[in-house]
Structure formats: C-alpha cells, structure tokens
Copies of this chain bind each other. A is one copy, B any other.
C-alpha cells in the first residue's frame, strides 16, 4: 500500500511537470528520435562499412550534445565539432614530432605533451569569457587531444581514424540540429523574451496588490503576511542564472520568428538587472509593510496619513500601469508610450514637494524611477 501511494505521488509529480510545460515531453521524445536515427547508421550494413566502429561516436555525440533549447544544442554542437577538428590537427602534429624520437622517447614525449596541453587548457577554463561560451569546447579539446595522442602510440592508420571519427561527430551534430530545429523547436531567445516580459508583469502585480490591499479605499488594516502579491517578485530575485544561460544560448541561434540573428540579447540582461533591483526595493518594502501592519501604530496625524495614502495609491497604480505597458511593448516589440510613466513621475513629484521627509513614498518613487530607467532601455 505504501508502495502504491509512492507510485501515485510520483505519477502526479511527473504529470505536473509534463503539464507545466508540454515542450518537455516533446524534448524527451526528440532525444529518443535523434538517437534512433543515429543508431540506424549502425544497423544498416552499407552505411556501417563506410564509417566502421567509429559510428559509436555519432551515438555518443547525440547523447551529449542534445540540449533543451536550439541555442544550447547549437552551442554544444559547434563547440564539439570545432574543438575536435583543432585538437585532432594538433595531436597529429604532436604525433609526428614524437615519432622522430624513437621507441624509447615517443611515449615520454607524448606524456609530456598531454600534461602540458591538458594543464594549459584546464587553466583557460577559469577565464570568464572562455568559461561562458567555450567551456564545453575546451573539455572536448582536451579529450580529443589526449585520445588521439595516446592512441597514436598503437594505432597504425591514425589519419584515417581521425577522419572517420570527425565525420561521425559531424553526422551526430547534424542529426541533433535537424531534430531540434525542425521538430517543435524551443528557442532560447523566445524564452528569454518571455521571461523579461513576465518579470515586468510580476513587478506590476506587486504594485497593483500594494494599491488595492494597502493604499486603496477598501484596504483593511489586517496583517498582510501570506498575501499572494507579496510573493510575486520573489522568483525575479533569483532569475539571474537562468537569464544568463538563456542569453548565452540565444546568441548562437539563427534568426527565427521576429528575432534576427544579431538581436541585441544583452539588452535583456540589462532589463533583468533593473527588474532585480526593482524587486529588491519591493522586498524591503514588503517586509516593512508587514512589520507595520503587525505592530498597528496609532495614526499620529490622520490628515497627513490620508494624503500620503492617496499619493501612494496613485503612484502605485500609475507605475503598475506603466510596467504593464512596458511589458506589452516588449512583447510586441514596439516603442512604449510614456503617458502613464510620466503620470506616475508627476504624482511622485507633486507629493515630494509637499512632503520631503516621508520614506514609504520615496521608496515607491524609487520604483517609479527604476521603471522609467527600464523604459529607456526598450528602444
């Protein structure tokens, strides 16, 4: 019975993951398809004669190169093909040099070459630029160089072997690319685009929640802890890693849909950084608001407090609207109108001149200012 419940729980979980994003199921089937296609190479005898045992390298390539997004697959595939080629040439050269040193010297010289190149290449992985874009390529470089250099000591027809291996890797990469690009492609660029717009919407959700629950007329003084809108910005705070990898993959992708090849992907990182800054302010504000509603201060100055409330409500709603417009503009890739933006800033300015000491206000204003910075970015 315990096992039954466990299986039930697992099934629900798997179902949930699949329902969350049906592209995941498609991706799984695509990997299966690519592998089956490549293994056909091995089963069909005439093709097998041409490639030899090296066919297995095509299978290996498919398993390792196939990624969820088109950009990821392209990045890995090109890295792999290019690194194999370069490493193969260098290794054959090293073999020629070592070969002249006689039976005694050859293994020693080869070992020294492997040690030096592997150390240097490993160190190059610590350079941030290489780490970001060519990390996988360096690994494959070390791998291919070591394999070819080491096996050159015993294998006779080195050039032929290298040629076979390289062609099978190209076949593997080509299979992966065809499957990812032509069968229900998942574009990293599109995901990045949606992530940026979705984050702006989440910021707007928070401000709208603040307006209705906190500053609006129907706002109650009950504790706000646990309200959904206070969680809206949370996922933005930790979005940097996802964003960076999507942006990195998007750079490798060819033009697709409304995105051209040289789409300014790094702009999304700037928007993301501003969104996170906004979310940071919101976090501070949210915890302040929660502390405030918990401690239930008597209202010291009803008139002032009413004025601040109204102004805050106005700014929140204008800023939220501005953010919504921004996100819509981002989605349709048009230049956003600046009406709500300037309304929010104007409301903030009016109030600022009246009260130059109030903090909650200045914080909302800060959000408005950040939002205006955001609008500068969407060109």
Contact = CB atoms under 8 A, between A and B. Distances in A.
A158 to B, nearest CB: 14
This chain: how many copies in the complex? 2
A153 B116 CA distance: 40
A154 B42 contact: yes
Interface SS of chain A = helix
Contacts of A17: 123, 126-127
Contacts of A153: 42-43
Interface in A333-366: 356-360, 362-363, 366
B126 A366 contact: no
A283 B277 contact: yes
A182 interface: no
Interface in A1-29: 13-14, 17-18, 24-25, 27-29
Nearest to A117: B32
A153 B237 CA distance: 51
A122 B287 contact: no
A146 B63 contact: yes
Contacts of A291: 362, 366
Contacts of A284: 280-281, 283-285, 363, 366
A240 to B, nearest CB: 5
A110 interface: yes
Interface string A230-244: 000000011011000
13 contacts: A27-B122, A28-B122, A33-B115, A36-B115, A42-B151, A43-B111, A48-B154, A237-B237, A237-B280, A240-B241, A280-B284, A359-B359, A359-B363
Interface of A: 13-14, 17-18, 24-25, 27-29, 31-33, 35-36, 39-40, 42-43, 48, 53, 55-56, 59-60, 63-64, 107, 110-111, 114-116, 118-120, 122-123, 126-127, 139, 142-143, 146-147, 149-151, 153-154, 237-238, 240-241, 276-277, 280-281, 283-285, 287-288, 291-292, 297, 300, 356-360, 362-363, 366
